[in-house]
Chain A
Amino acid sequence: MSGHHNPSGRHHDHDHGHHQLSFLRKYVFSVDHKVIGVQYAVTALVFLFFGFSLMMLMRWQLAYPGKSLPLLGGLFPPDGVMKPEMYNSLGAMHGTIMIFLGVVPLLVGGFGNYVLPLQIGAPDMSFPKLNMMSYWAYFVGGVVMLSSFFVPGGAANSGWTSYAPLSVIAGKGQTVWLLGMVFLITSSLLGSVNFITTIVQLRAKGLTMFRLPFFVWAQFVTAFLLLLAFPPLEAAAVLQLMDRLAGTSFYMPEGLVVSGVPQAYTGGGNPLLYQHLFWFLAHPEVYVLILPGMGIVAEVIANNTRKPLWGYRAMVYSSIFLGFMSFIVWAHHMFITGMGTKISAFFAATTMIISIPSVIILTAMIISLYRGSIRFNVPMLFALAFLPMFAIGGLTGLPLGLPASDIQLHDTYYVIGHFHYVVAPGTIFAIFAGIYFWYPKVTGKRLNEALGKIHFWLSLIFMNVVFMPMFFQGLAGVSRRLYDQTVYAHGEAVQTLTRMSSWGAWMLGVAQLPFILNFVMSLVASRKTAENPWQATTLEWAAPTPPPHGNFLVPPVVHRGPYEYSVPGMKRDFFPQHLVVEG
């Protein structure tokens, strides 16, 4: 709602007289997409580290069940041992925070907000005030989520999926979780409306849809996924709130007895309704987590192989097809709920089909490397590591998409290993690639290469130490969400693997120290970098660094595709999109 702005001539001069915005308007309640992007990114990074810390605590209980925590024992009175309820809360909040407060806001709110308008040559997002509101809705949602740790009974502890009826009879923290989700969903919806409108309306002159960088395409498809998949979750959350607060029975079957106590619900509801509505969102959400990551990796690969992306159009069509298919695969999360065999077969088939576009995108990026003169800088290392890591995550998903093998593997550590390979060494590596790649654009400074390489190699090693053992644990039959797997013989047998994972997680935490140091130190210590340090072709590098409010000094005009690297017969090996002749 920007009715506040006054486009009439009479007041125009008056407006220009007020370029000195107050601190609050400039840095806190800013409507500039770049400030909002940085706000999103920094908040989301803090949440990512917080969510990761929760898991590092849980890994102690898993590795050394029943032992009191060293150093941090004070967090768990009286004896420093994590209680099962606390373990459940930490698990639920880890998932929620990482997905809804960390990765998605960072990829879409952070990178999307900052880079996308620049890459399409726009002065800002279409609805700047809406953009600000979506950040603050996200912020409030985050605060609400965190505050749930302090309500009686602790934070939500029914898993990040909040399956009913468990979540309906859970403590007060679950209500807070649902309220927090309503804010986060609202934020995402406002954001996606803004992204789609911006891409459709505000592209620079000459920037046709097939001259868009792949990152913009990825964000475009992602925005549609958020727009159409989140509302059913909002519906599911509203119904769960009603069940919890008004005593309705949307998800409550007749005659429900919990721990020997009959529940005061009329019944007639169905827990599967929740699962359907939840996964109707949550499967597209998986692609929300990965598509922008693929977009970042594509940008970094094209730039550092110094050649055009191989199969750009195939990648674009694949991502559209991927987005479409992601709406009709959700029930593969529910094979063991007793769905009919025909329905299971249908969802197994769509699941196999959706792997095709993912493989096309991945293959196109791998072929793009072929005969490139690759620059092994830090963003490129992360982008290169993304490829095999995502491949492991994707391929281990196939057995989960087939009902027969899924019955064995469902809800085991195998599932945890699978999706973490997609989001942790997959998406998070793409995020790191993006941070190292665009940091010079945002700050005008470059991150230190040596520290970056230490960060990369340690992260790569320990990511695998954390998640590879989980496949073997899962195949050994260890269920996820267990407080203490050693009470079972088959869990005890693979406890060494659990310890390995735990030590990997703690070392992974240590491995992030060079990054934090680098991130902060480079702001103050490093010298100003060149305007276009990576010699890139896309439009964000055509704006001044760091870009002023309004971005471009002159509205750019685009003359060619996004990745004109190593054009034969040219002096330089890159030909920016906005130049008429080689400059």
Chain B
Amino acid sequence: MGGAHADVSGHVKMYIAVFAALAIGTIVTVLASTVDLGGHWNVAVAMAIAAVKASLVAAIFMHLKWESASVIWITLLFCAIFLVVLMALPVLTSGDRPPMVQIGSWG
């Protein structure tokens, strides 16, 4: 952020555009949820739209598009990796259980 006035005032149009995109995204999400896309596709579509909206917020409103500080990017990278690991929790409990556990006295 150089702080030059022209720079910042140029942003305003972009902010309005992002707002429009987010509003439209919200409407599309609602509409998409009314259509049965079958299986997990509804979830996938809703999450994809949310991801796009979130990226817009992060990139434009939170100025990540202009962010050059590597320490912020490294932190966010680790954050993203560990977030994926966290989200994988359900996979970890639904593994292949050896039959002896199922019939054992531990129930």
Chain A positions near chain B (C-beta within 8 angstroms)? 196, 200, 224, 228, 232, 270, 272-273, 276-277, 280, 324, 327-328, 331, 337-344
Chain A hits for B86, CB < 8 A: 232, 280
Instruction: List A contacts of B95 (CB < 8 A).
Output: 339-344
Q: B77-105 vs A: 1/0 string, CB under 8 Å? A: 01101100110010111111110010000
Minimal Cβ-Cβ distance residue in A for B94: A340
How many residues of chain B have a CB within 8 Å of chain A? 18
B78/A224 in contact, CB under 8 A = yes
Contacts of A324 in B (CB 8 A): 78
Contacts of A337 in B (CB 8 A): 93
Which residue of the partner chain B has the closest CB to A340?
Answer: B95
How many cross-chain pairs have Cβ atoms below 8 Å apart between A and B?
42
Structural contact, B93 and A339, CB atoms closer than 8 A: yes
A272 to B89: give the CA distance in the assembly, Å. Answer: 10
CB-based contact B71/A327 at 8 Å? no
For residue B74, which residue of chain A has the nearest CB?
A224
User: How far does the Cβ of A317 sit from chain B's closest Cβ, in whole Å?
Assistant: 15
Nearest chain A CB to B96 CB, angstrom units: 4
Contact A341 B79 (CB under 8 A): no
**B103 nearest CB across to chain A (Å):** 12
When the two chains form the complex, which single residue of A200, A228, A232, A339 contacts B92, counting CB atoms closer than 8 Å? A339
* Supplied contacts A338-B97, A340-B95, A343-B92, 16 more A-B pairs, CB within 8 Å: A196-B71, A200-B71, A228-B79, A273-B89, A276-B92, A276-B93, A327-B85, A328-B85, A331-B92, A339-B92, A340-B94, A340-B97, A341-B95, A341-B96, A341-B98, A344-B95
Task: Assess whether B93 is in contact with A270, with CB atoms less than 8 Å apart.
Answer: yes
Cα A272 to Cα B93 in complex, Å, equals: 8
A interface, by DSSP: helix, strand, loop or mixed?
helix
B25-64 near A? 1/0 per residue, CB < 8 Å:
0000000000000000000000000000000000000000
Top 6 A-B residue pairs of the complex, sorted by shortest distance between their CB atoms: A340-B95, A340-B96, A343-B95, A338-B101, A276-B89, A327-B82
Q: Which of chain A's residues have a CB closer than 8 A to the CB of B101?
A: 338
- Contact of B82 with A228 in the complex, beta carbons under 8 Å: yes
**A residues less than 8 Å from B98 (CB atoms):** 341
How far is the CB of A164 from the nearest CB of chain B, in Å? 14
Of all chain A residues, the one with the shortest Cβ separation from B104 is A338
Q: Which residues of A contact B78 (CB under 8 A)?
A: 224, 228, 324
Residue numbers in B under 8 Å from A280 (CB-CB): 86
Please measure, in the bound complex, the distance between the C-alpha atom of A474 and the C-alpha atom of B101, giving whole angstroms.
Answer: 24
**CB neighbours of B96 from chain A (8 A):** 340-342
Which chain B residues lie closer than 8 Å to A327 at the CB level?
81-82, 85
> Residues of B contacting A232 with CB < 8 Å?
86
A200 to B86, CA, bound (A): 27
CB distance from A329 to the nearest CB of B (A): 11
Q: Which residue of A has the minimal Cβ distance to B106?
A: A338
**Complex CA–CA separation, A183 to B91 (angstroms):** 32
Whole-angstrom CA separation of A328 from B84 in the bound complex: 11
CA distance A480 to B82 in the complex (A): 32
Residue of B nearest to A331 (CB): B92
Q: In the assembled complex, which residues on chain A have CB atoms less than 8 Å from the CB atom of B71?
A: 196, 200
* C-alpha gap A6/B7 in the complex (Å): 29
What are 26 pairs between A and B in contact, CB < 8 Å?
Answer: A196-B71, A200-B71, A224-B78, A228-B82, A232-B86, A270-B93, A273-B89, A276-B89, A276-B92, A280-B86, A327-B85, A328-B85, A331-B92, A337-B93, A339-B93, A339-B95, A340-B94, A340-B96, A340-B97, A341-B95, A341-B98, A342-B95, A342-B96, A343-B91, A343-B92, A343-B95
